[in-house]
Amino acid sequence: VDISVTLAGVPLTSCVYNASGPRTGSSAAMSKIAKSASGGVLAKSATIASQKGNDLPRTWHEDNGKASLNSEGLPNSGIDYYIDPKTISETMGESPTKPYMVSISGKNIADNLQMLQKISSTIESGSVNIAAVELNLACPNIVGKPTIGYDFEQMEDVMKQVASLPCFSGSKPLFPLGVKMPPYFDRPHFEMAAAILNKYKHIVSYAASINTIGNALAIDYHAEMPVIRAKGGFAGLSGPAVKYTALANVKQMRELLDNSIDVVGAGGVQTGRDAFEMILCGATAVQVGTCHWTEGPGCFDRICDELKAIMKDKGYGNVEDFRGKLKEWS
Ligand code: RRO
């Protein structure tokens, strides 16, 4: 069975790959993803300058593994590191067989525009292979900043200004652009978010749903304190606990977005069955975040093997055979 797909025009040997965030901060960590069955390598969301992130403790995993929290606060090495030919060759090896992608999460619109310009210049110089860029509209952990994807006015403004950059003003974007979306919970919000992305479909190649469910709170019962230090303990919720919200977001986005925009499923995927369900709901590819964090890069080999076994069992030869084919009750 064949689990390869084309995402945003980029061929992936496997439809399962890593989410930005866990184990994606350095070339040493990312090279392990490159060596695994992951369909690609997506770097940690970058800011203009490197930053340390929030004070510890900033991550937590529930004992039963069903939920995780993070308030990392965007620790990263800065955009220059993630687009440096040295970082990319250390990550991918000398003859890469899969795509390398970067994620950006600027402190403000100007920073996102500046990072996109830097990426454009680097791509135009021909010195590196960057297959796609993910614009993170959904980080919940920055003190004093709203989640952009929940502020539709700001989201529209971001898309408008990005679309006016030289790299997107030609007949075809210089590189495929994806957006990482926060989870929505109400139909009108899905409709508003999708309407903005559809308006900018000439520059948006995929939408990845979902980032973590923001501002969750876990309590240390013994200490009678939040488990996380920053932001009063409010942090992004991930892991199996968010899978059902993620499936719904993938289904809604696939229904509402123009067909030219691919949907990437993310949120609580830890088995081949989870990936299969995401694809049934319309996902072109599936990102794995928390499971990669807790299990390590071996998770990509396991999840791909499990997905292949399910497809074989059901008689599906490739991903298109069941993508978006969730049946309806009569
Ligand atoms: O670094 C983080 O705190 C973080 C980011 Br940028 C994000 O997009 N999602 C998340 O759960 N954590």
pLDDT digits (tens, 9 = 90+) for 193-236: 999 999 999 999 999 999 999 999 999 999 999 999 999 999 99
**C-alpha–C-alpha distance, residues 214 and 234, integer Å:** 8
167 catalytic? Reply is no
Q: Could you say which of 15, 139, 291, 299 is catalytic?
A: 139
**Is 90 exceeded by the pLDDT of residue 305?**
yes
- Is 143:74 a contact under the CB 8 Å cutoff? no
pLDDT given at position 104: 98
Retrieve residue 316's tokens: 């599906």
Average pLDDT, the chain: 97
Ligand 1 site residues, Cβ closer than 6 angstroms: 21, 45, 70-74, 105, 136, 138-139, 141, 211-212, 236
In this structure, the strands spanning 132-136 and 100-104 are parallel
CA 72 / ligand 1 centre spacing (Å)? 6
pLDDT in tens, 45-62: 999 999 999 999 999 999
- The architecture CATH gives domain 5-53+77-216+242-321: Alpha-Beta Barrel (3.20)
- Domain edges within the chain: 5-53+77-216+242-321
CA 140 / ligand 1 centre spacing (Å)? 6
Which atom of ligand 1 is found nearest the CA of 236? 11
Which atom of ligand 1 is found nearest the CA of 214? 11
What is the C-alpha end-to-end distance of the chain, expressed in Å? 31
**Is 90 exceeded by the pLDDT of residue 145?**
no
Q: What angle do CA 112, 115, 116 make, to 5 degrees?
A: 85
Best residue among 18, 45, 145 to mutate for probing ligand 1, ranked by most atoms within 8 Å of CB: 45
In this structure, the strands spanning 235-238 and 213-216 are antiparallel
ipTM of the complex: 0.99
Nearest CA to ligand 1 atom 5: 139
- Is 163:134 a contact under the CB 8 Å cutoff? no
pLDDT given at position 18: 98
Q: Cβ atoms within 10 A of the Cβ of 264, count?
A: 27
**Is 90 exceeded by the pLDDT of residue 95?**
no
Which atom of ligand 1 is found nearest the CA of 105? 6
pLDDT in tens, 240-263: 999 999 999 999 999 999 999 999
pLDDT given at position 23: 98
